[in-house]
Amino acid sequence: MTPPHIVIVGAGFAGHEAAHRLTRLARGRARISLVNPTDYFLYAPLLPEVATGLLEPRRITVSLTGTLPGVRLVLGAVDGIDLKSRAVSYTNPEGMAGALRYDRLVLTVGSVNKLLPIPGVTKYAHGFRGLPEALYLRDTLVRQIELADGARRDEARARTTFVVVGAGYTGTEVAAAGVRFTQALAREHPGLGDVRPQWLLIDVADRVLPGLDPRMGQEAERVLRSRGVDVRTGVSVAEALRDGVRLADGSFVPTRTLIWCVGVRPDPLVAELGLPTEKGRLVVDEYLTVPGHPDVVACGDAAAVPDLTRPGEVTAMTAQHAVRQGRLAAQIVAAAYGHGERRPYKHHDLGFVVDLAGPDAVANPLGVQLSGLPAKVVTRGYHLLSIPGNRIRVGSDWLLDALLPRQAVETGLVSGAAVPLDSATPETISPAAEPATG
């Protein structure tokens, strides 16, 4: 008998963990294929450290073949799933089409930048979901400070004003790290005179870190304000323009940098399946199984997994849930072949960490509120334990950063056109990209 073929689509937190667990459970009794557009797992929580020059980009990319022996990596983006004939079609990075038949499908395609119908935003804002976007932002920060040096005063002010929309954990971390990075850059440019980098953090919610414990938000806001970040809550963006951004309260902020961190939405592949969704996420039961399709499990950001600890709710889009669901997905697939019993997904939140750069962080491991150095130690320890590879490399970059000034140079490898906000694949450079001219 030919061994069953298990196809996992998406090698993020959920997919990587599912593949890892399945190889251990299957022990050669199943073929496991993993389809992903890149040959690495991206540790997204450290993207702000890449965007601000602390970590080298490859530190947060973990080799799939290196960490998943026994799994066949299929490089490509899935663009169609035929649930009747149990086949997925994909396009590889060179544009060639391919197809795979499966016996069991694990769908873990994650999420992409969330868009809002605000004029000018898709044209002038850039998201923060993938490595190309983080590299683009790093270059942008360096370049804007360099171009501001010697520019007319009003132009210099606009170039050194950076606007982050969305005060969730991503936007808060980007603003907290970005303000320190650009302040250090500005010190190397005496031509700026008294023009100093200004950061604005904007959210329609009435506080920073709206989804987390209010005490974390208060402490994060205190740290941000102590660094000079202009935190504006309860206000939204009305229009993005080439030379600035207009807010809903009528104020206009001249800027060349609009960083869009308003959240994420499920990968567009989910909508294309034509199956029931909840807030865009694929509906699954507590066994991560798609109703009516016992051979398909889905989890992570892409799936609306019922949260049995909060009846009526679905689990949040976090790495913590994605990893645990990926592990359970492997057990559920193995149980379908008589290996172990399937059990429902039930996981209590273990807390959250938010790195505020420098010596600051906020965290609430197991409900214990931490800030300052203790939170920083917990945050870094958590990331080192959670990243499935490259730990020594990440640790060495942290050590080097404590000892040496950052290398503040542009690489010019990612142009703005290469990272459109409205992208189904923020993990890769857009094929519509023009040559990297900045």
Ligand X SMILES: Cc1cc2nc3c(=O)[nH]c(=O)nc-3n(C[C@H](O)[C@H](O)[C@H](O)COP(=O)(O)OP(=O)(O)OC[C@H]3O[C@@H](n4cnc5c(N)ncnc54)[C@H](O)[C@@H]3O)c2cc1C
Write out the residues near ligand X by the rule CB under 6 A: 9-15, 35-37, 44-45, 47, 77-78, 108-111, 128-129, 169-170, 267, 269, 300-302, 317-320, 322, 427
- The nearer residue to ligand X, 247 or 345, going by C-beta atoms, is 345
Nearest-approach distance from CB 377 to ligand X, in angstroms: 16
Return the number of the residue (197 or 300) whose C-beta is nearest ligand X: 300
Residue 81 CB, shortest distance to ligand X, in Å, is 9
Closest CB to ligand X among residues 183, 386: 386
Q: Listing from the earlier edge strand, what are the strands of the sheet with 230-233? A: 125-126, 257-260, 161-165, 198-203, 230-233
**For residues 14 and 73, which CB has a smaller minimum distance to ligand X in the complex?**
14
Please, is 379 exposed, middle or buried when counting C-beta atoms within 10 Å of its C-beta (0-12, 13-18, 19+)? buried
Q: How far is the CB of 167 from ligand X (least distance, A)?
A: 13
Paired residues of 75 in beta bridges: 36
Query: In the bound complex, what is the minimum distance in angstroms from residue 429's beta carbon to ligand X?
Result: 13
Closer CB to ligand X, residue 180 or residue 324? 324
Question: Residue 361 belongs to what H/E stretch?
Answer: strand 361-363
Residue nearest to ligand X (CB): 12
Identity of the residue, 5 or 246, whose beta carbon is nearer to ligand X in the bound complex? 5
Q: Where are the beta strands (DSSP E) in 160-309?
A: 161-165, 198-203, 230-233, 237-241, 244-247, 252-254, 257-260, 264-266, 277-278, 281-283, 289-290, 293-298, 303-304
Q: How far is the CB of 190 from ligand X (least distance, A)?
A: 33
Residue 157 CB, shortest distance to ligand X, in Å, is 28
Backbone angles phi, psi at 419, to 5 degrees: -130, 65
169 closest CA partner among 301, 355, 427, 426: 355
* CB environment 350-361: b (16+ within 10 A), e (fewer): ebbbbbbbeebb
Q: How far is the CB of 302 from ligand X (least distance, A)?
A: 6
CA atoms within a 13 Å half-sphere pointing along the CA-CB vector of 279: 15
Question: What's the rounded Cα separation, in Å, for the pair 195 and 178?
Answer: 16
Is residue 140 within 8 Å of 50, Cβ to Cβ?
A: no
By beta-carbon proximity to ligand X, the closer residue of 149 and 427 is: 427
